[in-house]
Amino acid sequence: MRFRSTCILAATVFHTYFDGILAINSTALQTCTQLQTTLGSDIVQFPNGPEYLNSSANAYSFFNAEILATCIVLPRQASHVQIAMAAIFKNKVHYAVRAGGHSGMTGWNAVQDGILFFFSHMKSISYDDKKDTITLQPGIRWGEAVQQLQPFGVTPMGGRLPDVGTGLLLGGGYSYLSRQHGFACDAFIELDVVLVNGELVTATATNEHADLFRALKGGANRFGIVTRYEVQAIHASSLNADWFGGLVLYPNSSVEAILAATHKFTTTVTDPNATFDMVFVNTVNGSDVVGTHGLTLLYHGSALPPGIFDDFLAIPAINNQLGPITYLTALNLSGPGNDRGSGAKMGAGAVSGGVEEYTNAYRAWNDFTTDPAVKPTLAWSILAFTPISKFQISVGRARGSNSFDPPLVNYAAIDFQANAIPGLREWSPQVEAARQTVFKRMPPSPGLPLYMNESDQKQKVFATYGRFEELKRTYAKYDPTRFNVRFTDGPPGL
Ligand SMILES: Cc1cc2nc3c(=O)[nH]c(=O)nc-3n(C[C@H](O)[C@H](O)[C@H](O)COP(=O)(O)OP(=O)(O)OC[C@H]3O[C@@H](n4cnc5c(N)ncnc54)[C@H](O)[C@@H]3O)c2cc1C
């Protein structure tokens, strides 16, 4: 079955490529050919290259895996990105960048008739115990990063599922460590960035590129291609089971109580060692929609302190296996997140009000999943709540702030993700309209930023940022010809 689909994909790639060759953007083709001569056929691959197919198919969303680049650049070092970017800039070619490939925005990590950078060969990570910092290349995934540094007792702040990649950092990043140490991007120390014209700069909080440094904390793919991240090491992951928690599964009948507990924890709990990820899941099974909802509940310590999780633990559950675990085990509680083959789209919400705002978002989402126009092509959908605390926001501010710069309030970030039946190439206009209705029905509470990495491309996320005006000025400074906005797909508004 797996082999058969690979053959079909290969045939499709060659068919599309050679049939379309005359129609293909000849500038992209010429640039790819020049770059292959300069960098070699290992680094610049056409569809007949040995890694092209797997690299294309590596996008988490099938909608992105289906978009085929003229060639793929597989850099081994920053200078390869510089050379390719300089040619792309000179020749005015469309391009896209992919790290872990988990973007839910169609076209943000894939490009048709253009050049795709894929960092599958830049995956190194190291810990400097004198500086207490971690240096990582963009191709590493969070599971690999945590596993490799476990013996040193440190971890970078990153994703909560192992297969997710470093693009997470550029959108902000929600980690299980965030309530104590800020958004994942708040841990940035130094970034190497290839600007649109191919120039390599190093940005820190205090050097001449301090404006770029802050812009990259939330600026997504708009401010250059990051080829090296140096981040603060967090001493919260070791070979010892120094976390306590697990996965609790709830039946649909517990929804109301879960929403109340989610709201109460988000608005009242101040202990930065306590965190959770509440994920409502509706799965389409024929004409039925089955709801089974998962809470990942975690405490950085040897036991759960009394009180904090009591409301969650009092709710009738299907199973509840809590105990001492390592941070790496915590990352695997909801599965690896490495499934492929289903088109995925996301959308963001953010609520700071009463429990009715949580219930309102749940209802909007639940109505979407049970809509007769949606069900036939929907495989499953999630609505996830992440608690963001005042303390977490203040930690980020103390480290120089980020570009989304939320107001100092406790709030819940909401991720609405819809996954299509395997093989579907795009949602119908009816499903798209139903998705947009969900966003309209759960507008963010006034003043809250939406989360870039879990947004829909029609949501104007930059406009919700606390430092939107500053972000626009920084963008104008580093990309005066607006090349990125014109030649790569990404968040609107700059
Ligand atoms: C299963 C799953 C689990 C998730 N879990 C979490 C979570 O726990 N916490 C959280 O905060 N988010 C989470 N997300 C959302 C996640 O942050 C985004 O999907 C993010 O895009 C992942 O980064 P990536 O490197 O895997 O994806 P990619 O699609 O490769 O990259 C995301 C974006 O960043 C750009 N980009 C990537 N690398 C670079 C670079 N070096 N320079 C410039 N631009 C770059 C890409 O062009 C793309 O637009 C999850 C998503 C999924 C699907």
Per-residue pLDDT, averaged over 176-198, amounts to 98
Per-residue pLDDT, averaged over 307-323, amounts to 95
Residue of 109, 119, 275 to test ligand 1 pocket, by largest number of atoms within 8 Å of CB: 109
Question: Where exactly are the structural domains of the chain?
Answer: 2-118, 125-237+468-487, 243-463
Percentage, residues of the chain above pLDDT 90: 94
Q: Band of the pLDDT at 71, cuts 50, 70, 90?
A: very high
**103 alpha carbon – ligand 1 mean position (Å):** 5
**Residue 207 amino acid letter:** N
Q: Band of the pLDDT at 320, cuts 50, 70, 90?
A: confident
Per-residue pLDDT, averaged over 350-374, amounts to 97
Please state, in angstroms and rounded to a whole number, the distance separating the CA atoms of residues 297 and 312. Answer: 9
Cβ pair 381, 285 in contact under 8 A:
no
Contacts of 429 (CB under 8 A, 6+ apart): none
The model's pLDDT over 99-127, given as tens digits with 9 standing for 90+, comes to 999 999 999 999 999 999 999 999 999 99
**99 alpha carbon – ligand 1 mean position (Å):** 7
CATH of 2-118, one of 3.30.420.40, 3.30.43.10, 2.120.10.30, 3.90.1170.50: 3.30.43.10
Please state, in angstroms and rounded to a whole number, the distance separating the CA atoms of residues 170 and 1. Answer: 36
Per-residue pLDDT, averaged over 235-248, amounts to 97
Bridge partners for 415 per DSSP: 348, 384
Closest by CA to 299, choosing from 335, 332, 323, 266, is 323
Is residue 203 over pLDDT 70? Answer: yes
Structure tokens at 357: 């705002």
Is residue 280 over pLDDT 50? Answer: yes
Please state, in angstroms and rounded to a whole number, the distance separating the CA atoms of residues 67 and 204. Answer: 35
The average confidence (pLDDT) of the chain is: 94
**167 alpha carbon – ligand 1 mean position (Å):** 4
Whether ligand 1 lies within 6 angstroms of the CB of 337 is answered as yes
Per-residue pLDDT, averaged over 403-414, amounts to 98
CATH for the stretch 243-463: 3.40.462.20
Is residue 342 over pLDDT 60? Answer: yes
Residue with token string 């290992």: 42
The domain made up of 125-237+468-487 has a fold known as: 3.30.465
**451 alpha carbon – ligand 1 mean position (Å):** 11
| pLDDT for the residue numbered 321 | 87
Whether ligand 1 lies within 6 angstroms of the CB of 93 is answered as no
| pLDDT for the residue numbered 4 | 27
| pLDDT for the residue numbered 24 | 58
Residue with token string 């507990």: 261
Q: Band of the pLDDT at 11, cuts 50, 70, 90?
A: very low
Is residue 59 over pLDDT 70? Answer: yes
Compute the radius of gyration of the chain from its Cα atoms: 22
Cβ pair 167, 102 in contact under 8 A:
yes
The angle formed by the CA atoms of residues 35, 38 and 44, to the nearest 5 degrees, is 45
User: Could you tell me the sign of the dihedral formed by the alpha carbons of 94, 100, 102, 103, in that order?
Assistant: negative
**101 alpha carbon – ligand 1 mean position (Å):** 6
Whether ligand 1 lies within 6 angstroms of the CB of 161 is answered as yes
The model's pLDDT over 206-226, given as tens digits with 9 standing for 90+, comes to 999 999 999 999 999 999 999
Closest by CA to 69, choosing from 36, 85, 39, 46, is 46
The model's pLDDT over 375-401, given as tens digits with 9 standing for 90+, comes to 999 999 999 999 999 999 999 999 999
| pLDDT for the residue numbered 23 | 44
Whether ligand 1 lies within 6 angstroms of the CB of 158 is answered as no
| pLDDT for the residue numbered 10 | 38
**21 alpha carbon – ligand 1 mean position (Å):** 31
Q: What is the 3-state secondary structure (H, E, C) of the chain?
A: CHHHHHHHHHHHHHHHHHHCCCCCCHHHHHHHHHHHHHHCCCCEECCCCCCHHHHHHCCCEHHHHCCCCCEEECCCCHHHHHHHHHHHHHHCCCEEEECCCCCCCCCCCCCCCCEEEECCCCCCEEEECCCCEEEECCCCEHHHHHHHHHHHCCECCCCCCCCCECHHHHHCCCCCCHHHHCCHHHHEEEEEEECCCCCEEEEECCCCCHHHHHHCCCCHHHCCEEEEEEEECECCCCCCCCEEEEEEEEEHHHHHHHHHHHHHHHHHCCCCCEEEEEEEEEEEECCEEEEEEEEEEEECCCCCCCCCCHHHHHCCCCEEEEEEECHHHHHCCCCCCCCCCECEEEEEEEECCCHHHHHHHHHHHHHHHHCCCCHHHEEEEEEEEEEECHHHHHHHHHCCCCCCCCCCCCEEEEEEEEEECCCCCCCCHHHHHHHHHHHHHCCCCCCCCCCHHHCCCCCCCHHHCCCHHHHHHHHHHHCCCCHHHHHCCCCCCC
Per-residue pLDDT, averaged over 171-182, amounts to 98
Percentage, residues of the chain above pLDDT 70: 95
Whether ligand 1 lies within 6 angstroms of the CB of 102 is answered as yes
The model's pLDDT over 145-161, given as tens digits with 9 standing for 90+, comes to 999 999 999 999 999 99
